[in-house]
Amino acid sequence: MANINLITDKNDSTAIIGKGLAWVIVAFVLTLCLYGGLVFYKNSLIKNIVSTKLEYDTGLAQFKAGGAKDVADFQNRLDIADVDLAKGRSVAADLTEVEKSMITDAYLNSYEFDEKTKEISLECATDNYNAVARQILNFKSSGYFSGVTAGETSLDAESGEIIFPVNLTLK
């Protein structure tokens, strides 16, 4: 007779539970490591944000303290240059003509331009009266200016220079 065995292999249920439990523990440990890494990364980002904000605030304070004035001054100069370009009047050309007319012994202390009267007001300085006369003569002999008016000369006691104003009327 054939040997009929009705006993089946015994299911080792503890081994299946042990393997599942090991996988759960591994997943839990990986989750804890991932969470710890994310917390560390978050703290690193917060430090970077704080340092960047501090750098931004410092730069903004410096800009407001001095840079804003420079930017506003530059913008004003640009606006004036735009107006001059629109009017067709070239300040550079005027300065070039003044420069061509200047003698070597004299120099400019100030330059002003009055748009209404089309007049350039200069304050010149030199060390002798002969140079004053030659400078005024150079301005008068230039064909760029229609009128040259010399003002009252004065002597600067500290430097010993002769200061003389000149008004140049443009054609």
- Between strands 145-150 and 162-170, the pairing is antiparallel
pLDDT at 90: 75
For residue 105, the enclosing domain spans 90-170
Can you give the CATH number for the domain in which 160 is found?
3.30.1360.100
If asked whether residues 45 and 69 sit together in one domain, one would say yes
Is residue 68 a part of any domain in this protein? yes
Is residue 159 a part of any domain in this protein? yes
**Where is the domain boundary, 41, 61, 88?**
88
If asked whether residues 98 and 83 sit together in one domain, one would say no
Q: Any residues with CB less than 8 A from the CB of 169 and at least 6 apart, and which? A: 117, 118, 119, 145, 146, 147, 148, 149
How far apart CA 115 and CA 23 sit, in angstroms, is 88
If asked whether residues 156 and 118 sit together in one domain, one would say yes
**Where is the domain boundary, 71, 88, 105?**
88
How far apart CA 108 and CA 36 sit, in angstroms, is 72
If asked whether residues 97 and 58 sit together in one domain, one would say no
If asked whether residues 84 and 156 sit together in one domain, one would say no
Is residue 97 a part of any domain in this protein? yes
Structural contact between residues 139 and 166, judged by C-beta atoms closer than 8 angstroms? yes
Is residue 4 a part of any domain in this protein? no
**Where is the domain boundary, 88, 107, 128?**
88
How far apart CA 73 and CA 75 sit, in angstroms, is 5
pLDDT at 147: 93
If asked whether residues 103 and 166 sit together in one domain, one would say yes
If asked whether residues 37 and 58 sit together in one domain, one would say yes
Is residue 140 a part of any domain in this protein? yes
SS (H, E, C) the chain: CCCCCCCCCCCCHHHHHHHHHHHHHHHHHHHHHHHHHHHHHHHHHHHHHHHHHHHHHHHHHHHHHHHHHHHHHHHHHHHHHHHHHHHCCCHHHHHHHHHHHCCCCCEEEEEEEECCCCEEEEEEEECCHHHHHHHHHHHHHCCCEEEEEECCCEECCCCCCEEEEEEEEEC
Each residue's pLDDT, cut to its tens digit, for the chain (171 residues) gives: 567 766 666 655 555 567 778 888 999 999 999 999 999 999 999 999 999 999 999 988 887 777 777 778 889 999 988 887 777 667 788 889 999 999 999 999 999 998 888 899 999 999 999 999 999 999 999 988 999 999 999 999 998 999 999 999 988
Number of domains in the chain: 2
If asked whether residues 105 and 47 sit together in one domain, one would say no
If asked whether residues 95 and 82 sit together in one domain, one would say no
CA 102 to chain centre: 35
If asked whether residues 66 and 101 sit together in one domain, one would say no
If asked whether residues 119 and 159 sit together in one domain, one would say yes
pLDDT at 63: 78
If asked whether residues 59 and 112 sit together in one domain, one would say no
